């Protein structure tokens, strides 16, 4: 059964001086989505997020919100959570006081905010440091507090700009768990990230943007079906890679040497693996072959490169 659309963006455009930051993009989010907004630096992601948050105005286009049955051009701040890419908190204030304040300005009762903040700090093993100033925490722990500050008031819709930035792999995994849990509790999530391997683990749908233009908008399954059916081979050699021979291979789309004795080759969609292996049989010195389909990272690079060309 189709979920209700809680955000519909149509033909959104924004120009700064002579730069077209966003060019007629459209997308929508349904209740319960985890929607990944992907694009290289300067693609227009943050501009779009700022427009959605009513921080800046679009030149044209429409945004329709329908959060918790409340149809309005912009929902109350109590229903929105925002983790900006540029992190910042009151470093000279006690942790719990900052968290309560930020939840309070989004409409949460201070007493409830305090209870909720302490619960989160317990989970993050920081409860005993609740009254310490934020500057006393490590950078990683400050990141965690920043994340908590954006969702403490239990928003119906959370916008997370680069939520994994600055986290070590262990904490990245923890954050994936927190985001999934938040989503399971009913929060719709729009996230922007460069860590494709992490996005793959949680996103339901992806929107790819480059130079302000929409390159792809659909489910994770769709993007793999449309762009991920290519064979990618990591081939190791006992001797130097014979690059000239590779250039002559039929259906070769891309070739990236990885050191002197390894190469990563991508074949055009529809190329059979048996055909590829047959062509490789004539090469001497192959010590190892690993075959896999395109990851989201590969797809992202391929689509963006193709668009830039």
- Which residue from 70, 91, 197, 219 is in contact with other proteins, where contact means CB under 8 A? 91
Alpha-carbon distance 309 to 298, whole Å?
Answer: 16
- Which residue from 53, 118, 283, 286 is in contact with other proteins, where contact means CB under 8 A? 53
Q: Is 107 in the site for other proteins (CB under 8 A)?
A: yes
Q: Point out which span in 46-54, 121-129, 168-176, 199-207 binds other proteins (CB under 8 A).
A: 46-54
What six digits make up the tokens of 47?
């501009």
Q: Is 166 in the site for other proteins (CB under 8 A)?
A: no
Q: Is 42 in the site for other proteins (CB under 8 A)?
A: no
Q: Is 111 in the site for other proteins (CB under 8 A)?
A: no
- Which residue from 69, 86, 138, 308 is in contact with other proteins, where contact means CB under 8 A? 86
Burial call 9-27: b when 16+ CB within 10 Å, e when fewer? beebbbeeeeeebbbebeb
Q: How many residues does the chain have?
A: 309
Nearest CA-CA partner of 300 in 170, 192, 174: 192
- Which residue from 19, 42, 59, 76 is in contact with other proteins, where contact means CB under 8 A? 76
Q: Is 56 in the site for other proteins (CB under 8 A)?
A: yes
Alpha-carbon distance 83 to 164, whole Å?
Answer: 11
Alpha-carbon distance 7 to 31, whole Å?
Answer: 9
Local structure of residue 294 (DSSP, 8 states): P
- Which residue from 105, 115, 136, 238 is in contact with other proteins, where contact means CB under 8 A? 105
Contact flags string 117-156 toward other proteins, x per CB under 8 A? --------------------------------xx------
Query: Residue 74's CB: how many other CB atoms inside 10 A?
Result: 12
Contact by Cβ (8 Å): 209, 43 = yes
Supply the minimum distance, in Å, between the C-beta of residue 147 and other proteins. Answer: 12
Alpha-carbon distance 5 to 10, whole Å?
Answer: 13
Whose Cβ is closer to other proteins: residue 31's or residue 142's?
Answer: 142
Alpha-carbon distance 26 to 98, whole Å?
Answer: 36
Q: Point out which span in 103-111, 116-124, 255-263, 271-279 binds other proteins (CB under 8 A).
A: 103-111
Q: Give the interface with other proteins as residue ranges (CB under 8 A).
A: 50, 53-56, 76-78, 80, 82, 84, 86-91, 93, 101-102, 104-107, 149-150
């Amino acid at each position: 059964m189709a979920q209700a659309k809680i955000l519909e963006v149509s033909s959104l455009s924004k120009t700064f001086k002579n730069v077209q930051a966003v060019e007629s993009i459209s997308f929508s989010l349904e209740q319960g989505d985890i929607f990944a907004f992907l694009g290289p630096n300067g693609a227009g992601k943050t501009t779009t997020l700022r427009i959605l948050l009513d921080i800046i105005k679009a030149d044209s286009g429409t945004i329709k919100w329908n959060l918790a049955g409340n149809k309005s051009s912009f929902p109350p701040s109590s229903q929105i959570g925002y983790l900006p890419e540029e992190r910042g908190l009151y470093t000279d204030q006690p942790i719990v006081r900052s968290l309560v304040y930020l939840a309070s300005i989004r409409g949460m009762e201070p007493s409830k905010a305090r209870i909720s903040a302490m619960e989160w700090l317990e989970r993050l093993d920081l409860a005993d440091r609740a009254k310490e100033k934020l500057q006393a925490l490590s950078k990683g722990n400050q990141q965690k507090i920043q994340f908590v500050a954006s969702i403490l008031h239990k928003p119906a819709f959370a916008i997370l700009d680069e939520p994994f930035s600055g986290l070590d792999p262990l904490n990245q995994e923890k954050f994936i768990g927190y985001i999934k849990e938040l989503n399971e509790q009913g929060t719709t999530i729009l996230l922007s990230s460069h860590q494709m391997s992490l996005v793959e683990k949680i996103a339901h749908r992806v929107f790819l943007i480059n130079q302000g233009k929409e390159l792809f908008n659909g489910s994770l399954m769709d993007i793999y079906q449309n762009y991920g059916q290519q064979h990618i081979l990591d081939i190791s050699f006992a001797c130097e890679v014979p690059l000239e021979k590779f250039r002559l291979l039929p259906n070769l789309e891309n070739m990236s040497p990885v050191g002197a004795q390894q190469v990563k080759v991508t074949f055009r969609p529809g190329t059979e693996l048996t055909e590829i292996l047959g062509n490789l049989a004539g090469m001497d010195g192959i010590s190892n072959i690993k075959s896999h389909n395109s990851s989201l990272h590969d797809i992202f690079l391929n689509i963006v490169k193709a668009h830039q060309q």
